[in-house]
Amino acid sequence: MRKLRTEAGLTQSALAHRLGVHPSYVSRLEQGEGNPRWGTAKRVAVELEVTIAELAAAAEGFEKPGR
């Protein structure tokens, strides 16, 4: 997600503001430490100007071992 966010030209704070969440939540998502609700994932995709499938593919590449 970090790559998609930076490609969109957004900081964690800017994305968090657009999503109505705390910047630490965006940080946790980028580190693979959280699972957003479906609605949040859709909003992230919209803000990053990608499809939900592209967002999911980016997340699959970041799965932590043992999950």
44 within some domain: yes
pLDDT for residue 59: 82
Which structural domain, as residue segments, surrounds residue 42?
2-60
Inter-CA distances, 41 with 34, 36, 66, Å: 11, 6, 22
Compute φ and ψ for 63, nearest 5 degrees: -50, 135
How many domains does the chain divide into? 1
6 within some domain: yes
pLDDT at residue 67 is higher than 50: no
Per-residue pLDDT of 24-64, as tens digits, reads 999 999 998 888 999 999 999 999 999 999 999 888 766 55
pTM: 0.83
Are 63 and 32 in contact, with CB atoms under 8 Å apart?
A: yes
pLDDT for residue 10: 97
pLDDT for residue 65: 53
